[in-house]
Amino acid sequence: MESAILDHQLRPATEGASGYLTINLGALARNYEKLSAEVAPARAAAVVKADAYGLGVEHVSEALYGYGCRHFFVAQFFEALRLRPLLSGDAQVFVLNGLQPGNECACAEAGIIPVINSLEHLHQWAGEAERLKRRLPAVLQFDTGMSRLGVPPEERTAIATLLKTSGMIEILFIMSHLASADDADSEQNGDQLAEMNRVAEEFSEFDVCFANSGGIFLGDAYHGTLARPGIALYGGAPTVGQPNPMEPVVHLDVAVVQVRTVPADVRVGYSGTHVTQGVTRLATIAAGYADGLLRSLSGKGAVYCDGIRLPIVGRVSMDSITVDITALPEGRLTLGSLVEVLGPHQTLEDVARDARTISYEILTGLGNRYQRRYR
């Protein structure tokens, strides 16, 4: 279970934790307001799948609802079942992956809205509507060139026919997903926009939901009537290679477990992959790949103290990482001292670059062993 408490409720028992993940809900709300202003007069939804990108869907959804968000997207049906009771009745919860067979009745009873990705999905949902003898809401997703999820071009005619003949499905809007929106120069963006426009002409009676985080900054043509940002809400950069317009939401500090001084020619970590070149002061900190700090950070990444970069030496272990602290004044770090993993000196993108991955993987991988504090 997630150990999440508010700052003003911090109890003595939480002091001395091995790591502190601070989630700034004020920054989250300001990011939502910025994105909403960027897409206006369209509206901004919120993607809160994967437990709100690992930050806690209860706190995140409550904060976003308080700032006017009424459309919430998750990936899996069980996520929607968890989220739906947390929100007021005027909020809508959408399941991006649609429904597995057998979930239709529970979905309808809970007032959850599936995203229809195929003719088969639509038949399932229409069948449930017929059984209940009432119209059921849905969203239609079309594949515009990603080949991942969405109605393929060859099924469009059958989809349109079924909607007309059944009359039992209320389509709230149509949508698609941009595959390269984080690269503003990618030709795929324009190709997908052109295909989305063709779909919108074929299904002209419905509103359009198109832009993700990166798509919001591609311009008005991508916005439709509803945008659905994800990573940008949580402070991640929406566009690669450009200044990040979003405010950081997470700050991660990890505690020192041990400090030692070793001579030259000493092996550090599993398999002795790092060998000291001279007298070196080392600190071992209480987090590792089980806490989302990937093994690929070995010999590449770093932590910070007083603005000074402390490189990771040797391999990242499951529960610990060793860093070179020779650059710090002697005695600056001791048992229980905190070092910065994410914060003013190191962003999600910095850690992702060093780990040779993306910010999404770093953010969603932050484990449940950190003491979480919501501001």
Burial 141-178 (b: 16+ CB within 10 A, else e): bbbbbeeebbbeeebbeebeebbeebebbebbbbbbbb
Claim to verify: residue 199 and residue 258 sit in the same structural domain:
no
pLDDT band, very low/low/confident/very high, at 14 (cuts 50, 70, 90): low
Query: What CATH number corresponds to the domain at position 325?
Result: 2.40.37.10
Q: What is the pLDDT of residues 21-61, one digit of tens each?
A: 999 999 999 999 999 999 999 999 999 999 999 999 999 99
Kindly report each contact of residues 238-243 with a partner whose C-beta sits within 8 Å and lies 24 or more positions away, as own/partner: 238/181, 238/182, 238/213, 238/214, 239/182, 239/183, 239/184, 239/214, 240/182, 240/183, 242/184
> Are 293 and 180 contained in the same domain?
no
185 and 75 in a common domain: yes
Of 188, 209, 234, the domain-final residue: 234
pLDDT given at position 15: 73
The answer to whether 313 and 324 have CB atoms below 8 angstroms apart is yes
- pLDDT of 3 higher than 50: no
Residues 73 and 100 in one domain: yes
pLDDT in tens, 259-287: 999 999 999 999 999 999 999 999 999 99
Question: Phi-psi category of 292—alpha, beta or left, where left has phi over 0 and alpha has psi -120 to 50?
Answer: left
Q: Say if 177 falls within a structural domain.
A: yes
pLDDT at position 13 over 50: no
Say what percent of the chain tops pLDDT 70: 96
Same domain, 48 and 157: yes
Kindly list the catalytic residues: 49, 270
The answer to whether residue 243 is domain-embedded is no
Confidence grade of residue 206 (pLDDT, cut at 50, 70, 90): very high
Instruction: Note the pLDDT tens digit of each residue in 292-336.
Output: 999 999 999 999 999 999 999 999 999 999 999 999 999 999 999
Q: Is residue 117 part of a domain?
A: yes
Predicted confidence at residue 4, as pLDDT, reads 44
Closest of 363, 343, 54, 342 to residue 236, by C-alpha: 363
Asked if residue 244 belongs to a domain, the reply is: no
> Is residue 170 domain-shared with residue 290, that is, in the same domain?
no
Domain boundary among 200, 234, 268: 234
On whether residue 345 sits in a domain, the answer given is yes
261 and 303 fall within a common domain: yes
**Domain check: are 319 and 362 in the same one?**
yes
- Choosing from 234, 261, 278, the residue where a domain stops is 234
What average pLDDT does range 141-156 have in this prediction? 96
**233-252: average pLDDT:** 97
d(CA 177, CA 149): 8
Identify whether residues 196 and 261 lie together within a single domain.
no
Say if residue 43 is in the same domain as residue 163. yes
Residue 367's pLDDT is what? 87
pTM above 0.85, yes or no: yes
253 vs 335: CA distance, rounded Å:
14
pLDDT at 12 over 80: no
Is pLDDT above 60 for 6?
A: no
Mean pLDDT of the chain: 94
Q: Which of 87, 94, 78 is nearest to 60 (CA)?
A: 87
Per-residue pLDDT, 16: 81
Using the predicted structure, report yes or no on whether residue 10 has a pLDDT greater than 50: no
Strand ranges inside the chain, DSSP E: 4-6, 19-23, 43-44, 46-47, 71-74, 92-95, 113-116, 136-141, 169-175, 208-209, 226-227, 250-262, 267-268, 274-275, 280-285, 302-305, 308-311, 321-324, 338-342, 371-374
Burial of residue 8 (number of CB atoms within 10 Å: 0-12, 13-18, 19+):
exposed
Q: Are residues 316 and 217 in the same domain?
A: no
**Residue 12 domain-assigned?**
no
The total number of structural domains in the chain stands at 2
Return d(Cα 23, Cα 321) in angstroms, integer.
23
Residue 342: domain span: 250-374
What residue type is 344 in one-letter code? P
